[in-house]
Amino acid sequence: MATRSSPARASAGKQGGASARPAKTAKMPSTRSKQSVPEPTQQLIWPLRLAVGIWQGLGHLIGGAIRRMGTDVSGIPAEDRRDGSGLFFILLAAVIATFEWWGLTGGAADAVHGVFEGTFGWFAAMLPPMLLIFAILVFRQPGNVRANNRVAIGFSLLVVAGCALAHVAGGLPNASDDFAGVSAAGGMVGLIAGGLVAAASPVLAIAVFSILAFFSLLILTATPIRHIPDRLRGVYEQLIGPAPQHELDTNGHDQSYLFDRDGLPAKPKKPRALRGRRKDTDEAPAPGHDSDGAFDTPLLEADDDETFPAPSAAPSLPPLPPGVRRPTRDELAADKIRASQGLPTSSGAYDATEVDSAEGGRGPEAVTEAIGIVAANAAAQGYNASAARAIPAPPSTVPAPIPARSEQLQLSGDVTYTLPESDFLPAGPPAKDATDANDAVVAALTDTLNQFNVDAAVTGFSRGPTVTRYEIELASGTKVERVTALSKNISYAVASSDVRILSPIPGKSAIGIEIPNADKEIVVLGDVLRSANARRTDHPMVMGVGKDVEGGFVVANLAKMPHLLVAGATGAGKSSFVNSMIVSILMRSTPDEVRMVMVDPKRVELTAYEGVPHLITPIITNPKKAAEALQWVVREMDQRYDDLANYGFKHIDEFNKAVKAGKVHPPVDSKRIIRPYPYLLVIVDELADLMMVAPRDVEDSIVRITQLARAAGIHLVLATQRPSVDVVTGLIKANVPSRMAFATSSVTDSRVVLDQPGAEKLLGQGDALFLPMGKSKPIRVQGAWVTEAEIKRVVDHVKGQLTVHYRDDVAVEAPKKQIEDDIGDDLELLLQATELVVTTQFGSTSMLQRKLRVGFAKAGRLMDLLESRGVVGPSEGSKARDVLVKPDDLAATLAAIRGGGAGEGPAQGGSDVGPSEGPSGGGPASPAGDPMAAALAENANANHGWGTDLVAEDLANRTEAVDYNDGDDEDGGEDAWSLTGR
Ligand SMILES: Nc1ncnc2c1ncn2[C@@H]1O[C@H](COP(=O)(O)OP(=O)(O)OP(=O)(O)O)[C@@H](O)[C@H]1O
């Protein structure tokens, strides 16, 4: 390590203190670059300009059509397209086909034919399809330079090998006396390549060029040699059909039908550690062991074959030219224009105004300018930017559709359900591996390290969508603290206050410095769902989370989280995340597999989903009703546990699997139809509103659900913009193991969410720290973005498939009655006490004693009643209690207490979640000594639904047997879950 000296450090070091006088040298390039340089096309004479214009127009026309074919990739920004080149290859293919395939003759045609044939022999006829394939790649993925280069190299080698073999097969003609023979064989290419080797031995030539042809095919298909058997098997299965023995996971989902990024069945996993991958080394569970695998994690990670090339394959960055041009200014300008034109940030991602103020009010142009100045300075000192290389990002997904589900999506009621098409979520612009802004930051960091004589070097960086992580390696004997102590200077050098230092990068002997990109990129949900990670499984609870700092897609299984807390300040990206989550579910699951309860006290965030058949109740906007719905979830959970216990299963997945296999039978005398239980996802998009209304009830329900619901297939997602201890209480936190922290307003809030600082330094707008259950270090991700138009398209499709059937039992059975009775004759006193406590905002028992002239015991009782109604917090010893109701809400609180006291508790008003006139009071008289019958009776009484639909006769029978007291329930029980297709 001590002897390692990168060119960057060595050269910059030699310059010594030169960097101490940056102003003079730095100004020059900056001033120069401000002069308006005419566009290259403007300098051309007009006929030429016209020709260029026509060429580009034609290119865009053809390119646009090709991009819309299959998976729509028309979102590629205009400045990233290479349509002119694509058009060139298409025309070349057309010209060669005209002469070589259709044999156009006479005059110039003969000459052209002579050139092609003379050069490539009869192999010239093979060129058009190759050129056409290459043109399509250039049109559809112009940014994927690495893949395009690979294909170009593959084709070139194939042509050389083909021509050489044709030359040998043509009898090794000689150019001087038989040029016609050369043209009829492998042309000049064949003569030169094949002739040289064949001079030694024709057999050797055949062997060499056959091997070369074979390798060129491997290069073209990006197939490492060791993967050849898998690929062949994949091709075989594509042609003949998959092997029959598919393994099902415990939920009955096919686990063996997994896809790699080429759409072929994936190969078996290899130990990740051996491949030297930079990401976390958690091994995803083997297929078929989904729910009980050791080291289980909610994260889904893809196989890591050639998708992570060795660092030596990394493209070296071009050195910064002297004078440093500032293309990021253009890129930002283009970004802003795109934003203002709604392309592709059409629904507000990175609003143009927000781009302007992204860096502490100075604006990204100022940042870029500052970075450019430092870079110019470093360049003037001989800095060589190629010392630090872009660490190749995980592959950007080759647009491929979300794979068709391997099972027949047959719903109960004989309804065939079609999941939304993959192209409902279009592809985003291709990710960039490195930009000039990254070079400039590398230069600035190197400069800073040199200025402070720290023996360290920037050895690489990995670019994510919003931040880039630069890696710094220390020479031996250099303290880590020497770099971490420079955090303020680094911030200064790169002109960003949002610098985050990771020491070390988990799993690496390197310091990571995360710096926001001046040119951020949007992570589109469609891309995340099409990534190899997401395509590994068709589990219905898998959601697209976003992209990590290394540019890898982050995909997680909500069923394994098993509960998630989402927190962050206003505008940080919570609702966008919740939208991505819901759309992921709608894209991948049927209503028979996943049902949702949505709680949206803000009333605007989730309205788009009203009426989707995955809902079990209309979207709940009233916090009080939400608290009741949570109590229903607890009852549902108990219900499921009863079934698990009665039938002897430990997890709902096993129960469902057994039901699907026909192994679960109801008791002989019952006509109960047992169906699989769907997963139940409960989404609360503002926990604080619920905690304001009924802190104790809500906390109790949440704690009960989170402690037990995993096995019952019930999962909670709690979002809040107020991650304070009164909202996210210790008990809630202890039971919600997975966390998603968006930018918080303080380090205290970050600690509440993550138990560690970090979230306060996030950038907002979807930048987040994701801490899935079982991980100790959060992963920095840029959340996936889904536009309103995409949401609408998916929702319309889903609603078109099925009519929603809400359950009518998601309500509470008179829960407050007992408490209301507690008030007894003290209603007036309680109202006065409420008024007193709320107006003074002082929750003191002795104050009640004095002002209301009551004894200590009475005052204490009033205070307990106030606590039970959420007016004051719990007792804190001798201190006054917290008052939870603001003076503005006094009238509503008094009305609620009055209503409750008069025997019309809030639960009995019109309910968001259905009428509460379900079976009331007392459990049914179950047939003595028959636990199964008792459980069934409980089903019918408390919870007519899920996998336990009862046919009408059965209900009628048991109405007699169990004193079933409400005829309405027969209807409810019968059709609560029957899904009618359209
Ligand atoms: N993943 C993302 N990618 C790009 N931009 C995003 C992303 N998430 C959020 N934004 C930007 O941030 C804005 C605010 O996001 P969002 O409404 O989700 O925040 P929020 O945390 O839910 O705020 P509130 O609590 O006020 O509802 C969005 O309008 C969008 O411009």
Is residue 627 predicted with pLDDT exceeding 80? yes
What pLDDT is attached to residue 237? 66
- Report the separation in Å between the CA atom of 512 and the middle of ligand 1, taken as the mean of its atom positions: 27
User: How far from the centroid of its chain's Cα atoms is residue 41's Cα?
Assistant: 41
Are 133 and 66 in contact by the 8 Å Cβ rule? The answer is: no
Answer whether 762 contacts ligand 1 (Cβ < 6 A): no
For residue 349, the CA-to-ligand 1 centroid distance in Å is: 7
Taking the CA of residue 602 as reference, the ligand 1 atom at the shortest distance is 27
Is 575 labelled as part of a ligand binding site? yes
CB of 350 sitting under 6 A from ligand 1:
yes
Between these two residues, 594 and 960, which has the higher pLDDT value? 594
- 646 located within any domain: yes
- Is 966 inside any structural domain? no
What is the 781 CA–ligand 1 centroid distance (Å)? Answer: 14
Least confidently predicted of 162-176, 663-677, 787-801: 663-677
Q: Is 2 annotated as a binding residue?
A: no
Instruction: Confirm or reject: Cβ of 144 under 6 Å from ligand 1.
Output: no
Q: Residue 634: inside a domain, yes or no?
A: yes
What average pLDDT does the segment 887-912 reach? Answer: 58
Residue 160 lies in a domain: yes
- Max distance between CA atoms of the chain, in angstroms, equals 126
Domain shared by 204 and 63, yes or no: no
CB 807 within 8 A of CB 901: no
Task: State the DSSP code for 658.
Answer: H
What is the residue-averaged pLDDT of the chain? 71
**What is the tally of structural domains in the chain?**
5
What confidence score (pLDDT) does residue 971 get?
33
Cα separation, 246 vs 152, whole angstroms = 38
Q: Is 349 in the pocket of ligand 1 (CB under 6 A)?
A: yes
As a whole number, mean pLDDT of residues 514-539 equals: 87
Look at ligand 1, atom 7, and give the residue with the nearest C-alpha: 766
Determine contact, residues 845/863, Cβ cutoff 8 Å.
Answer: yes
- Do 132 and 156 lie in one domain? The reply is no
Q: Is the CB of 473 under 6 A from ligand 1?
A: no
Ligand 1: centre distance to CA 479 (Å): 40
Decide whether any atom of ligand 1 lies within 6 Å of the 830 Cβ. Answer: no
pLDDT tier, 903 (very low <50, low <70, confident <90, very high otherwise): very low
For ligand 1, what atom is nearest to the CA of residue 580? Answer: 1
Q: What is the DSSP string of 186-208?
A: THHHHHHHHHHHHHH-HHHHHHH
Reading the block at residue 890, the tokens are: 């006094």
Q: What is the pLDDT of residue 211?
A: 92
Q: Tell whether ligand 1 has an atom less than 6 A from the beta carbon of residue 568.
A: yes
**How crowded is residue 874: how many other Cβ atoms within 10 Å of its Cβ?**
9
Do 463 and 511 lie in one domain? The reply is yes
Residues 788 and 833 in one domain: no
Residues 748 and 771 in one domain: yes
Write down which residue in 904, 919, 949 finishes a domain. Answer: 904
Nearest ligand 1 atom to the CA of 782 is 1
Give residue 845's domain range. 817-904
Q: Is 353 close to ligand 1, i.e. is its CB under 6 Å away?
A: no
Asked whether 466 lines ligand 1 (CB < 6 A), one says no
Of 220, 248, 263, which residue constitutes the final position of a domain? Answer: 220
Q: Is the pLDDT of residue 359 over 50?
A: no
**Local confidence band at 890 (pLDDT 50, 70, 90 cut-offs):** confident
Least confident of 39-48, 140-149, 876-885, 947-956: 947-956
Of 868, 887, 904, the position where a domain reaches its end is 904
pLDDT exceeding 70 applies to what percent of the chain?
67
What pLDDT sits at residue 316? 34
Which residue's alpha carbon is at the smallest distance from atom 4 of ligand 1? 349
- Minimum-distance ligand 1 atom for the alpha carbon of 721: 25
Is residue 177 a contact partner of residue 166, using CB atoms and an 8 Å limit?
no
User: Is any ligand 1 atom within 6 A of the Cβ of residue 231?
Assistant: no
Ligand 1 center–CA 569 separation, angstroms: 10
Best probe residue, ligand 1, of 543, 765, 785 (max atoms within 8 Å of C-beta): 765
Kindly state whether residues 562 and 499 are assigned to the same domain.
Answer: no
pLDDT tens digits along 814-851 = 344 444 567 777 888 898 999 999 989 998 888 898 88
Atom of ligand 1 nearest to the CA of 576: 18
Q: Is residue 4 a contact partner of residue 458, using CB atoms and an 8 Å limit?
A: no
Query: In this structure, which residue's CA is closest to atom 31 in ligand 1?
Result: 349
Distance 545 CA to ligand 1 centre (A): 14
- Choice between 391 and 693, residue whose per-residue pLDDT is larger: 693
The reply to whether 386 sits in an annotated binding site is no
Residue 393 confidence class, pLDDT cut points 50, 70, 90: low
pLDDT of amino acid 784:
93
Q: Answer whether residue 528 is part of any domain.
A: no
Tell me the residue type at 653.
Answer: D
Asked if residue 935 is part of any domain, the answer here is: no
- Look at ligand 1, atom 25, and give the residue with the nearest C-alpha: 570
Q: Is the CB of 574 under 6 A from ligand 1?
A: yes
Let me know: does 305 contact 227? Beta carbons within 8 Å.
Answer: yes
Nearest by Cα to 516 from 653, 749, 656, 328: 328
Q: How far, in Å, from the CA of 575 to the mean position of ligand 1?
A: 6
| pLDDT confidence band for 544 (50 / 70 / 90) | very high
Instruction: Report residue 615 as tokens.
Output: 């809902």
| CATH code: domain of residue 462 | 3.30.980.40
Residue 121 annotated as lining a ligand binding site: no
Quick check: helix, strand or coil at residue 960?
helix
Confidence of residue 377 (pLDDT cuts 50, 70, 90): very low
Judge contact between 512 and 470, C-beta under 8 A: yes
User: Which of the 8 DSSP states describes residue 559?
Assistant: G
Among the atoms of ligand 1, which is closest to the Cα of residue 348?
A: 31
**893 vs 390, more confident:** 893
User: Quick one: which atom of ligand 1 is closest to the CA of 764?
Assistant: 12
Q: Which of 727, 762, 734 is nearest to 746 (CA)?
A: 762
572 carries a ligand binding annotation: yes
Q: How far is the CA of 744 from the centre of ligand 1 (A)?
A: 13
Q: Which residues pair with 595 in a beta bridge?
A: 680
Tell me how far the alpha carbon of residue 791 lies from the centroid of ligand 1, in angstroms: 15
Q: What strand order describes the sheet that includes 389-390?
A: 389-390, 456-463, 467-474, 511-516, 500-502
573 is in an annotated binding site: yes
656 contacts: CB under 8 Å, gap ≥ 6: 250, 251, 252, 676, 677, 947
Ligand 1, pocket-test mutation among 547, 575, 602, 769, most atoms within 8 A of CB:
575
Decide whether any atom of ligand 1 lies within 6 Å of the 522 Cβ.
yes
- Whether 346 is in the pocket of ligand 1, judged by its Cβ within 6 Å, is no
Residue 714 DSSP class: E
- Would the CB of 348 count as within 6 Å of ligand 1? yes
For residues 252 and 540, the answer to whether their CB atoms sit within 8 Å is no
Kindly report the protein residue whose alpha carbon is nearest to atom 16 of ligand 1.
573
Do 786 and 868 have their domain in common?
no
Read off the CATH number of the domain in which 862 is found: 1.10.10.10
839 and 760 in a common domain: no
- For ligand 1, say whether the CB of 571 is within 6 Å of any of its atoms: yes
Q: Which pLDDT does position 764 carry in this prediction? A: 87
Q: H helices then E strands: how many in the chain?
A: 36, 17
Check whether 936 has a pLDDT greater than 80. no
pLDDT confidence of residue 783:
93
112-138, pLDDT tens digit by residue? 778 888 888 888 888 889 999 999 888
**d(CA 908, ligand 1 centre) in Å:** 37
Band of pLDDT at residue 29, cut at 50, 70 and 90? very low
Q: How many Å apart are CA 378 and CA 214, to the nearest integer?
A: 47
Distance (angstroms) between ligand 1 centre and the Cα of 761 equals: 16
Q: Tell me if 521 is assigned to some domain.
A: no
Name the band, by pLDDT with cuts 50, 70 and 90, for residue 463: confident
Of all protein residues, whose CA lies closest to atom 10 belonging to ligand 1?
765
Distance 572 CA to ligand 1 centre (A): 5
Domain check: are 100 and 190 in the same one?
no
DSSP characters over 799-850: HHHB-----S--S--STTHHHHHHHGGGHHHHHHHHHHHHHHT-B-HHHHHH
Average pLDDT, integer, range 548-571: 90
User: What pairing do the DSSP bridges indicate for beta strands 738-742 and 564-567?
Assistant: parallel
- CATH value at residue 683: 3.40.50.300
Residue 980 lies in a domain: no
Amino acid occupying residue 800: G
Could you tell me if 619 and 488 lie in one domain?
Answer: no
Compute the distance between CA of residue 732 and CA of residue 801 in angstroms, rounded to an integer.
Answer: 37
CA–CA separation, 619 and 981 (whole Å) = 22
| Separation between Cα atoms, residue 447 and residue 322, nearest integer Å | 16
23 labelled ligand-binding: no
pLDDT, residue 791, reads: 94
What is the Cα–Cα distance from 941 to 522, expressed in whole angstroms? 50
Nearest CA to ligand 1 atom 14: 571
Q: What is the pLDDT of residue 763?
A: 87
Ligand 1: which atom is nearest the Cα of residue 569?
Answer: 21
Alpha carbon of 724 to ligand 1 centroid (Å)? 20
Which one, of 221, 82, 86, 226, lies nearest residue 154 by Cα?
221
* CA 269 / ligand 1 centre spacing (Å): 37
pLDDT at 215 over 70: yes
Alpha-carbon distance of 467 to 499, in angstroms, equals 9
**504 and 576 fall within a common domain:** no
Which amino acid residue places its CA nearest to atom 11 of ligand 1? 765
Q: What would the mean pLDDT of 584-597 be, rounded to a whole number?
A: 91
Is any atom of ligand 1 closer than 6 Å to the C-beta of 575? yes
Judge whether 635 and 712 are in contact, CB under 8 Å.
no
Which residue did the predictor score with more confidence, 300 or 328?
300
294 labelled binding-site residue = no
The Å distance, Cα 576 to ligand 1 centre, comes to 5
**Ligand 1 in reach of 720 Cβ (< 6 A):** no
The verdict on 723 and 839 lying in the same domain is: no
Distance 278 CA to ligand 1 centre (A): 30
Rounded average pLDDT over 806-819 = 54
> What is the distance in A from the centroid of ligand 1 to the CA of 688?
18
How many CA within 13 A on the CB side of residue 732? 29
- pLDDT reported for residue 790: 92
